[in-house]
Structure 1
Amino acid sequence: MKINVSGHHVEVTASVKEHIEEKFAKIATHFPTIISIDAIITKAHGKHYVELTTNYEGTAVSVSANEEVMYPAIAAAGKKLDAALKHRKGQLKAKLHEKPFSTAPDIAYEKVQETNFS
């Protein structure tokens, strides 16, 4: 999985990239179909904002988090992304388990009426 990290008013160092890869390793194992995650780290008004965007099974999934310190903001965004991906996976699985719809109950009734049980 490729993680694209960019910063706005924040210098993205090797330790920040390493921390992000460490936090998202769990997501990569749980959702192997994810190809890339885009992470934008912004500092504004004394807070760090982290926005994560990815594409999962044809749908864009985006989350954001903000904290006073950058590392807890990254962790919070990672937890939110994991929860959003689990929610999306649940929606996809629910469609697989829909009950079949019977289209011809009247035909079955007519067949029973036509049969001779004597």
Structure 2
Amino acid sequence: MNLQISGHHLEITSAIHDYVTGKLERVTRHFDNVIDVNVILSVEKLKQKAEVTVHLSGKDVFVESIDEDLYAAVDSLVDKLDRQIQKHKQKVKNHHRGQRISHIVQD
């Protein structure tokens, strides 16, 4: 998994980097086919914004979260991302419980 964290009007400190990396490990634990992750953290007056684009095999997932606290925005972002990745995983999953596809079509 390639992880890229950037900041707009914000310097990415090692504490922020470690926090985001630790939170995103939860996503890779649920779904192994994560190719690329781009995180953008930005600050505008009273809003802290966190955006992430996750490139999976066959799909790109984009999530954003806005909060007054940057760490709360990252927490909310990871929760939303986790739900979307689990939803994508269920769609990709084979629901035929080991039967061959040709077997199902002929019946």
SS at match of 2:34: coil
Identity %: 27
The code of the aligned residue for 1:43 comes to V
The code of the aligned residue for 1:79 comes to D
Q: Conserved in 2, the CA contact under 8 Å of 1:56 and 1:85?
A: no
Q: Say if 2:44 is the partner of 1:44.
A: yes
> 1:20-99 maps to which residues of 2 (within 5 A)?
20-93=20-93, 96-97=94-95
Identify the structure with the greater strand proportion: 2
Q: Conserved in 2, the CA contact under 8 Å of 1:65 and 1:73?
A: yes
Kindly state the Cα deviation for residue 36 of structure 1 after the two structures are TM-superposed.
2.2
Moved over 6 A (4+): none
Kindly state the Cα deviation for residue 45 of structure 1 after the two structures are TM-superposed.
3.3
Q: Conserved in 2, the CA contact under 8 Å of 1:41 and 1:49?
A: yes
Q: Conserved in 2, the CA contact under 8 Å of 1:10 and 1:43?
A: yes
Kindly state the Cα deviation for residue 86 of structure 1 after the two structures are TM-superposed.
0.6
Paired with 1:58 and 1:16, the residues of 2 have a C-alpha distance of 30
Could you say which structure has the larger radius of gyration?
1
Unaligned residue ranges in structure 1 (runs of 5+):
104-118
The alignment yields a C-alpha RMSD, in angstroms, of 1.8
> How does the TM-score come out when normalised to structure 2?
0.84
Deviations 1:46-86 (A, max 9, x none): 11110100112211101000100100101110111111101
Deviations 1:9-60 (A, max 9, x none): 1111111000001111111222121122100011113111101001122111
Paired with 1:67 and 1:73, the residues of 2 have a C-alpha distance of 5
Q: Conserved in 2, the CA contact under 8 Å of 1:8 and 1:42?
A: yes
> How does the TM-score come out when normalised to structure 1?
0.77
SS at match of 2:75: helix
Paired with 2:17 and 2:68, the residues of 1 have a C-alpha distance of 19
